[in-house]
Amino acid sequence: MSEEEAKTPRVFLARHGETEWAKSGRFTGVSEIPLNAFGEEQVAGTAKILVGPNKLLDPAKLGCVFISPRIRAQSTFELLFDETEKDRLRTEGKVKTTEKLAEWGYGIYEGLKDTEIRALRKERGLDKEKSWDIWRDGCEEGETAQEVTARLDSLIDEIYAIQSPNMRSESPSDVVLVAHGHLLRAFAKRWLRYPMNFPLSMMLPPGSVGILSYHEHDINQPAFFLGMGFLPSKAE
């Protein structure tokens, strides 16, 4: 990462750690499933390496942390930052819980596995011509791709308002989103201005962090980091 890249505002995508439902492949939307012990270790390990003063995700450079209201996301936020950092961020009004980051509403698919959803849809006479694709078809009695798009676009507008005056980090303007697997991948598509059904395969394991930013310090050129390098420490 060059000096110039380091000065461009970033959006960090922090997926919550593992839960028992995530471990078994169950679609988890509104259900309040807590992190399991391994999930807590995942987030703590990520925090140790990536989060802190002069690290990749430096709390002093944050303009806002947006968090899903689900308990697994709230717990992930608590584990990512130390108590002093959390107190300062809250005192400065930079911690916001928002339904815009709630996981995709799975409707009647809540708690089911992918194979079970496909079997259910077959029983209901669906998908005769094409197999189910959540990015195109959404979820029965849950959210459509258009509904998820609308709330994410609204959140992106909020982020632009924070970052557009600070495209060379004139003020702390990095943003962290603490949320869920499907939702954060959906966010990445909308950040890059792709429709939900755009065939962009992405991986974001539990407890991991992805990074979005801008090309050439330009609010009109949203981008993502394909790879990261790290600046040498000041001592070197």
Predicted pLDDT of residue 16: 98
Would you mind telling me the total number of residues written for the chain in this entry?
Answer: 236
Q: What is the CA radius of gyration of the chain?
A: 18
Predicted pLDDT of residue 226: 84
Q: Classify 60 as helix, strand or coil.
A: helix
Predicted pLDDT of residue 157: 98
Q: Classify 219 as helix, strand or coil.
A: coil
- Out of 18, 40, 103, 143, the active site residue is 103
- HSE at residue 149, side-chain half, CA atoms within 13 A, is 16
Binding site residue list for substrate: 28-29, 72, 103-106
Q: Across-strand partners of 176?
A: 12, 65
- pLDDT band per the 50, 70, 90 thresholds, residue 6: low
- pLDDT band per the 50, 70, 90 thresholds, residue 169: confident
- For the chain, domains (ranges, CATH) are 3-224 (3.40.50.1240)
- pLDDT band per the 50, 70, 90 thresholds, residue 227: confident
Predicted pLDDT of residue 7: 83
pLDDT at 234 exceeding the cut of 70: no
Percentage of the chain lying above the pLDDT 90 cut = 92
- Out of 16, 40, 110, 180, the active site residue is 16
pLDDT at 235 exceeding the cut of 50: no
Query: Which of these ranges, 4-13, 51-60, 117-126, has the smallest mean pLDDT?
Result: 4-13
Q: Is 217 a catalytic residue?
A: no
Task: State pTM to two decimals.
Answer: 0.93
| Whether 58 contacts 85, CB under 8 Å | no
pLDDT at 182 exceeding the cut of 90: yes
Q: Is 16 a catalytic residue?
A: yes
Binding site residue list: 28-29, 72, 103-106
| Whether 191 contacts 224, CB under 8 Å | yes
Percentage of the chain lying above the pLDDT 70 cut = 94
Mean pLDDT of the chain: 94
| Whether 43 contacts 16, CB under 8 Å | yes
| Whether 203 contacts 15, CB under 8 Å | no
C-alpha distances in Å from residue 75, one per residue of 19, 80, 193: 11, 9, 30
Query: Which of these ranges, 1-15, 70-84, 155-169, has the smallest mean pLDDT?
Result: 1-15
Average pLDDT over residues 199-205: 94
